[in-house]
Structure 1
Amino acid sequence: MPQVKTELLVNGRVVARGTGEDVLGNPASAVAWLANKLAEFGVALEVGQVVVSGSMTRPVFLGASTPDAAPGEAAAITADFGSLGVVTMSFRDGPEKEADGSTPSMRRQSPAR
């Protein structure tokens, strides 16, 4: 993982770059450090827990002043991890509006019987 290169793009523009080496030399090293530190307090990582090892790039702000996105326009952020794959998400300021201008509400689903 140290050799994995990452590019972070906002609306197609590269805003940050990094490598796995930027995460304590190797993302696995960050997880090992965490496991050892928790052990000092009698706590262990358990099967099924999600552990985030750190970021290969700096944080990027997404909001009304997102570069290359007009207010209300979706900001697309892409993380390109080279041979590991690409992830793209889109965000827009404010809630989505229905055709009549109303904001959709979250509906609680009843469990199937």
Structure 2
Amino acid sequence: MLTEKELQERKERIRWGIIQSAYHAHPSPVSDFLIQSAVKTVVPDVASKEILEEANYLQGTCCAIISLRHLHESNGFSARITKYGIDIVQRAVRAPDGIGAPGYEA
């Protein structure tokens, strides 16, 4: 079982993987399948449910980092990075707390 700190670090790595996936697909949206493939390189046992939870978190942040489009036919989703998300990846702005962006550790 993960400690609270380990769980938070896991969530942050998943969030950063989602942001990176959406950034590299820009200007097109990226599918949940491709996001999961990318995130598995840093969190090998990540579940689809975790990715959706963290994608929803990113969409719901004060300045949405990604926008989601739920695909009812497949129960999946696609994500598109926002300008704010691009600024985070390109280091134009500081990543908010809760995003595991390398180089932003306190």
Q: TM-score, normalised by structure 2?
A: 0.23
Larger fraction in helix: 2
Larger fraction in strand: 1
Q: TM-score, normalised by structure 1?
A: 0.22
Where relative contact order (Cα < 8 A, 6+ residues apart) is larger, the structure is: 2
Bigger-Rg structure (1/2): 1
